[in-house]
């Protein structure tokens, strides 16, 4: 038994923040942001708009694309680092909005690699016969936790959600997932506050994402390079067999470095960073849905998804779409 992607969906908040808008907040320039990151604009949530709102829109589109009624869903797994509440988890909030009751619903946190983790977990449920219709979501509102006076991070992050519906299949589907983490790197990229620390930084107005961008960059390129090699070798396939690379959209230069490692022309890489920015756990399913809906990604093609995030966490999935 395998799982396969029956449908995809995504959602971006309406409000757009351009590089010119950010020039008014911090000492930066459109030229610096575009050349160093590839980002021109990004979507940000409006007052009162939350991760669960974005997740709900993306989920409804994925369910419609899969031809599935919400009532058929028997597992909900939401990857997010920016939940609406500490608890109940975003999975249960989403479950309630979809008017489904009783099936397992949870969120998991693996920063920008969250969707790869969620896909890996949900795939196992389906393979083991414990779920017949899994809703897997990556949704984040990182602009809520960014320090808007830190030009090293505030130019990067954005909000959005992407979702897929997994159903059982006799052939893959999700061929393999590869998940890794190394907590030694916890200080290079973090939001250094939380409930068990009493939210003391937040109360003092000193909270915000902290990142040593240059060091993150080098390790991300290195780990993702190893990861794509591991994924190909584990399945005995060669670089030229991949139809589409669907990378985490953190920085165009990281994306190009991984494409180069795979000898893939950029025409076979789904790149959304220019208008999406880094939407964290939403980035990969957003890129996947973009490629599916604009007709580039077709049924039967071989997809390589990869992501890297705070922790560090990193993960990939090889998928026959």
Instruction: State residue 214 phi and psi, 5-degree precision.
Output: -65, -45
Residue with tokens 């997010």: 80
Which residues in 123-146 are b (16+ Cβ under 10 Å) and which e? bebbbeeebebbbbbbbbbbbebb
User: How far, in Å, CA of 49 to CA of 53, rounded?
Assistant: 6
User: C-alpha 244: how far from its chain's center?
Assistant: 17
Per the annotation, the verdict on 154 as an active-site residue is: no
Considering only residues 110 to 129 of the shown chain, the ones binding ligand ACO according to CB under 6 A are 111-112
Q: Is 36 in the site for ligand ACO (CB under 6 A)?
A: yes
**Which of 117, 244, 308, 314 touches ligand ACO by CB under 6 A?**
308
Q: Is 216 in the site for ligand ACO (CB under 6 A)?
A: yes
User: How far, in Å, CA of 163 to CA of 152, rounded?
Assistant: 29
Catalytic residue among 112, 154, 178, 276: 112
Per the annotation, the verdict on 251 as an active-site residue is: no
Nearer to ligand ACO, 75 or 262 (CB): 262
User: How far, in Å, CA of 253 to CA of 90, rounded?
Assistant: 32
Q: Which stretch binds ligand ACO (CB under 6 A): 91-99, 179-187, 257-265, 308-316?
A: 308-316
Q: Is 251 in the site for ligand ACO (CB under 6 A)?
A: yes
Catalytic residue among 43, 248, 251, 276: 248
Q: Is 75 in the site for ligand ACO (CB under 6 A)?
A: no
Per the annotation, the verdict on 278 as an active-site residue is: yes
Q: Is 208 in the site for ligand ACO (CB under 6 A)?
A: no
Nearer to ligand ACO, 230 or 256 (CB): 256
Q: Is 286 in the site for ligand ACO (CB under 6 A)?
A: no
**Inter-residue contact 34 to 19 (CB < 8 Å):** yes
Q: Where are the alpha helices (DSSP H) in the chain?
A: 19-23, 30-37, 51-66, 90-97, 114-127, 151-154, 200-203, 213-234, 252-261, 273-276, 283-293
Residues that bind ligand ACO (CB under 6 A): 28, 32-33, 36-37, 111-112, 151-152, 155, 189, 213-214, 216-217, 220, 250-251, 254, 278, 280, 308-310
Give the active site residues.
Answer: 112, 248, 278
């Amino acid at each position: 038994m395998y799982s396969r992607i029956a449908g995809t969906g995504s959602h971006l908040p309406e409000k757009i923040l351009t590089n010119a808008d950010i020039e008014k907040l911090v000492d930066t320039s459109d030229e610096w942001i575009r050349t160093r990151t590839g980002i021109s604009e990004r979507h940000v949530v409006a007052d009162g708009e939350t991760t669960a709102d974005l997740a709900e829109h993306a989920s409804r589109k994925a369910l419609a694309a899969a031809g599935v009624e919400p009532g058929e869903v028997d597992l909900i797994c939401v990857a997010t680092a920016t939940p609406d509440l500490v608890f109940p988890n975003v999975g249960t909030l989403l479950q309630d909005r979809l008017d489904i009751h009783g099936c397992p619903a949870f969120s998991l946190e693996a920063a920008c690699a969250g969707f790869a983790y969620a896909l890996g977990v949900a795939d196992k449920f389906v393979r083991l016969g414990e779920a017949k219709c899994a809703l897997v979501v990556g949704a984040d509102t990182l602009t809520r936790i960014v320090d808007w006076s830190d030009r090293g991070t505030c130019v990067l992050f954005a909000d959005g959600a992407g979702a897929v519906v997994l159903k059982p299949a006799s052939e893959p589907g999700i061929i393999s997932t590869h998940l890794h983490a190394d907590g030694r790197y916890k200080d290079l990229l973090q939001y250094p506050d939380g409930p068990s620390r009493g939210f003391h930084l937040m109360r003092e107005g000193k909270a915000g994402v902290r990142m040593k961008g240059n060091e993150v960059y080098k390790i991300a390129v290195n780990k993702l390079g190893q990861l794509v090699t591991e994924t190909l070798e584990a399945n005995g396939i060669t670089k030229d067999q991949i139809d589409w690379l669907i990378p985490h959209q953190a920085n165009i230069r990281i994306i190009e470095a991984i494409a180069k490692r795979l000898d893939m022309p950029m025409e076979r890489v789904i790149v959304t960073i220019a208008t999406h920015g880094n939407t964290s756990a939403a980035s990969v399913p957003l890129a996947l849905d973009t490629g599916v809906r604009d007709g580039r990604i077709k049924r039967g093609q071989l997809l390589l998804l990869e992501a890297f995030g705070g922790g560090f966490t990193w993960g990939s999935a090889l998928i026959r779409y």
